Amino acid sequence: MKNSSSPDKVTIKEVAQQAGVSTATVSRVLSGADEVSGDLQNRVLETVQALNYHPNQLARNLRKQATNIIGFLVTDFQNPFFTSVMRGIQDVLQEKAYVLLTANSDENPDQENLHLETFRAQGVAGIIFTPSQTDYSLHQNFLQGLPTVAVDRRPLGLTVDSVTVDNINSIRVAIRHLIEMGYHRIGFIAGLPQTFTALERLRGYQVGLEDERIGLDRNLIKEGFYSQEGGRQAMNNLLDLPEPPTAVLTANNLMTLGALQAIHERFMKIPDEIAVIGFDDMVWAASLQPPLTVVAQPTYDIGRTAASLLLERLNNPDLPFQDIVLETKLIVRASSGEKNCV
Amino acid sequence: MKNSSSPDKVTIKEVAQQAGVSTATVSRVLSGADEVSGDLQNRVLETVQALNYHPNQLARNLRKQATNIIGFLVTDFQNPFFTSVMRGIQDVLQEKAYVLLTANSDENPDQENLHLETFRAQGVAGIIFTPSQTDYSLHQNFLQGLPTVAVDRRPLGLTVDSVTVDNINSIRVAIRHLIEMGYHRIGFIAGLPQTFTALERLRGYQVGLEDERIGLDRNLIKEGFYSQEGGRQAMNNLLDLPEPPTAVLTANNLMTLGALQAIHERFMKIPDEIAVIGFDDMVWAASLQPPLTVVAQPTYDIGRTAASLLLERLNNPDLPFQDIVLETKLIVRASSGEKNCV
DNA sequence: TTGAAAGCGCTAACAT
DNA sequence: ATGTTAGCGCTTTCAA
């Protein structure tokens, strides 16, 4: 730790006095290359050092009516997807001396609005968030002039930058892979249709089957909350079918866990009795027996991209808005192995 | 969203004028039950509503030289342990209108110090953090007067409140359980000895064996980073032993995943060929085949407790310091099943 | 290039 | 019980 002897109470005034200049000059020196002669520049810098002066961020904030705080709001930080995104964001923002304020919305519009208001009240410089509502037309006004980037989902009725993944294609690729491995009866564990990603991934399932000229059997689609229990129930419903699927695709990482739980509870063998492809490559995916084939989202890059987008807009508010769509990657492991031992 | 038409520029002055009172009175009304007559009180409140006035937090911060921001610094938010703790913290702090600033230290002292300084510069009201250094005597001065709570680990040389778990007893209980299930050769996958929890859990292993009158075989202890790869290597070292263990205990959740990976790579059966008890009850523990026996930490409560402790100190800085130690719980699942099918 | 001075919007003495 | 007023520490016109 610095040799700062107790909370610094050194102000710009004292630095100015000590250096024999005005506070304005000190401020100019510290706020980057303004028009200050090298002579004074050095004198100020030395005094700053000598006095161990740290500008008071609070005063700066008030004066500039702006902070170096970015608000990050997601549905649930306990979902590893978001912590990975957060990491990407932090790595980018830290370089530019921004700090991150975090909050959970729990997919609850009231909570979400509350936190957005709180962010605003804190004077955040910008916001990165995961929309959980179906319509944001009323927010356009609220977010006017407040740089905002949506991640994971695009907010309907709101003109902001966004970073999402190609959900539709993700599932198509997964289906093609299953077909190639010999699976033809493919179940789909979907999220609730009010969610952006759930909708897209379901669409991917439909398109994927069309690609392969396989008729859609609505019975093979089971919906649920994006949660472990939601996945477990959906999987159970699938397995209770008179003619259950031989392979299953999940639309969300927590649902994957629930699906696995249901499969294990019936002591079914993966992939012999049922092949599984999960969404998101979580840390545990490789530690399962058998290791899990997954659609891997570029979580860290989603975060980095979102933060970069925000930084750009902070610098130039009039930039055209961008919807960036990143590609996912199918990571093939043993849970979708060749269908041969039926 | 509120019907706030564009960023509010309504100040306390305008409210005062409109209501026909002084700014001081408005301030008094808004900052809780001060001495203001019911008459004026209502008049002010109405005007506030009518004008949709929101106090400027930035001005408030400067004037009070304090914010409603709490800094939360952990080694790695991608570890689910910390997000669960964070959730507990947020649930408590949100009620009191505090917001949470987050940062990762990556077990890196420089990063940790940097973020602590950043927190300070932001004028945080308090700090909750996971110490990753071995000596904090130099920080005592820095944190003077800045309410601080340590979680998960106690910082050596620093007098602050802390919330940890009973690591020693946790491992003892796990060992007793393994013995009861018929396992006598128990390996231990430990963290690096500079970490508070690693040290305590290792001690628990030693004491646990003593409890059972089992001699300590140093070969059965393998150290590594608190990471998946660290756990994998340690497990491999254990399995490469001439006389490998029949059961293994891990000291950290990520290491558990690595250990499982190593076991699966050798196609060994759990628990028949090797029983496993992990540390931390992560979401995936129940989705494994077989489900994993774990030492469950009260993660959410750790967070709630830490936040409550901080709140108490915020209200009363002169309270005696507390080291709160919470109990863990052994959750028995199939991975530590009866040893019978050797 | 530098300094003087006016606030940013609020709260807390102090005065009434 | 209420109003007046002096800042909190900084940045940024404006003037020199």
Convert the pLDDT of each residue in A230-258 to its tens digit: 999 999 999 999 999 999 999 999 999 99
Is residue B342 pLDDT above 80, yes or no?
no
Contact A261 B286 (CB under 8 A): yes
The H or E element that residue A199 is part of is: helix A196-211
Contact A1 B58 (CB under 8 A): no
Neighbours of B144 (CB within 10 A): 12
DSSP string covering A236-275, please? Answer: HHHHTSSS--SEEEESSHHHHHHHHHHHHHTT--TTTT-E
* Beta-carbon-side half-sphere exposure of residue B83 (alpha carbons within 13 Å): 22
Which of the four pLDDT bands, split at 50, 70 and 90, describes residue A340?
A: low
pLDDT of residue A76: 95
pLDDT of residue A161: 98
> How much is the average pLDDT of B243-253?
97
| Contacts for A286 with CB less than 8 Å, ≥ 6 apart | A292, A333, B257, B261
Domain ranges of chain B: 7-55, 68-165+299-327, 167-297+330-336
The H or E element that residue B58 is part of is: helix B57-64
Amino acid (1-letter code) at residue A342 = V
Contacts 24+ apart (CB under 8 A), A204-208: A204/A167, A204/A168, A204/A169, A204/A170, A204/A171, A204/A172, A204/A175, A205/A171, A205/A175, A205/A249, A207/A168, A207/A171, A207/A172, A208/A171, A208/A172, A208/A173, A208/A174, A208/A175, A208/A176
pLDDT tens readout for residues A67-108: 999 999 999 999 999 999 999 999 999 999 999 999 999 999
The nucleotide lying nearest A15 (C-alpha to C1') is: D9
Is residue A4 pLDDT above 50, yes or no?
no
Is residue B2 pLDDT above 50, yes or no?
no
CA distances from B6 to A66, A174, A320, B296 (A): 16, 45, 21, 48
Which of the four pLDDT bands, split at 50, 70 and 90, describes residue A342?
A: very low
pLDDT tens readout for residues B67-101: 999 999 999 999 999 999 999 999 999 999 999 99
Neighbours of B9 (CB within 10 A): 8
Could you say which of B2, B123, B284 has the minimum Cβ distance to residue A284?
A: B284
According to DSSP H, which parts of B6-56 are helical? 12-19, 23-30, 38-51
Report yes or no: A302 and A85 within 8 Å, Cβ to Cβ. Answer: yes
Contact A284 B257 (CB under 8 A): yes
- Chain A environment of B291 (Cβ under 8 Å): 264
| Contacts for A270 with CB less than 8 Å, ≥ 6 apart | A263, A276, A290, A335
pLDDT tens readout for residues B159-213: 999 999 999 999 999 999 999 999 999 999 999 999 999 999 999 999 999 999 9
Could you tell me how far CA B147 lies from the centroid of its own chain? Answer: 17
Which of the four pLDDT bands, split at 50, 70 and 90, describes residue B36?
A: confident
Amino acid (1-letter code) at residue A299 = T
Domain A167-297+330-336: which CATH number of 3.60.21.10, 3.40.50.2300, 3.30.450.40, 3.40.50.300: 3.40.50.2300
Is residue A36 pLDDT above 90, yes or no?
no
The verdict on B254 touching A (C-beta cutoff 8 Å) is yes
Strand D footprint, Cβ within 7 Å: A 9, 11-13, 23-24, 26-28, 30-31, 53, 55-56, 58-60, 62-64; B 20-25, 28, 35-37, 39-40, 59, 62-63, 65
Q: How many contacts does A have with B, using Cβ atoms within 8 A?
A: 159
Which of the four pLDDT bands, split at 50, 70 and 90, describes residue B32?
A: confident
The verdict on A57 touching B (C-beta cutoff 8 Å) is yes
Between the two ends of chain A, the Cα-to-Cα distance in Å is 64
Query: Which residues in chain B belong to E strands, given as ranges?
Result: 69-74, 99-104, 126-129, 148-151, 161-165, 186-190, 221-223, 247-250, 275-279, 293-296, 323-326, 329-331
* Residue (of A227, A228, A224) closest to A188 by Cα position: A224
Is residue B113 pLDDT above 50, yes or no?
yes
Query: What is the DSSP code (8-state) at residue A155?
Result: P
Amino acid (1-letter code) at residue A291 = P
pLDDT tens readout for residues B221-235: 999 999 999 999 999
Report yes or no: B139 and B132 within 8 Å, Cβ to Cβ. Answer: no
Could you say which of B61, B103, B260 has the minimum Cβ distance to residue A287?
A: B260
Which of the four pLDDT bands, split at 50, 70 and 90, describes residue B339?
A: confident
User: B7-55: what fold?
Assistant: 434 Repressor (Amino-terminal Domain) (1.10.260)
pLDDT tens readout for residues B129-141: 999 999 999 999 8
Amino acid (1-letter code) at residue A335 = S
Place of tokens 């849970």: A335
User: Per the CATH hierarchy, to which homologous superfamily does domain A68-165+299-327 belong?
Assistant: Response regulator (3.40.50.2300)
- Chain B environment of A90 (Cβ under 8 Å): 102-104
> How much is the average pLDDT of A25-44?
87
pLDDT tens readout for residues A159-172: 999 999 999 999 99
Percent of chain A with pLDDT over 90: 89
Report yes or no: B235 and B190 within 8 Å, Cβ to Cβ. Answer: no
pLDDT of residue B9: 82
Neighbours of A137 (CB within 10 A): 11
pLDDT of residue B160: 97
Q: What is the dihedral of CA B73, B74, B78, B80, to 10 degrees?
A: -110
Q: What is the dihedral of CA B36, B37, B38, B43, to 10 degrees?
A: -80
pLDDT tens readout for residues B290-303: 999 999 999 999 99
pLDDT tens readout for residues A174-196: 999 999 999 999 999 999 999 99
pLDDT of residue B8: 59
> How much is the average pLDDT of A1-5?
45
| Contacts for A255 with CB less than 8 Å, ≥ 6 apart | A189, A191, A224, A226, A227, A228, A230, A231, A234, A279
Edge-first strand order for the sheet with B186-190 is B221-223, B186-190, B247-250, B275-279, B293-296, B329-331
pLDDT tens readout for residues B302-338: 999 999 999 999 999 999 999 999 999 999 999 998 8
Give the CA-to-C1' distance from B14 to C6 in angstroms: 20
Percent of chain B with pLDDT over 90: 89
Question: Is there a shared CATH topology between the A68-165+299-327 domain and the A167-297+330-336 domain?
Answer: yes
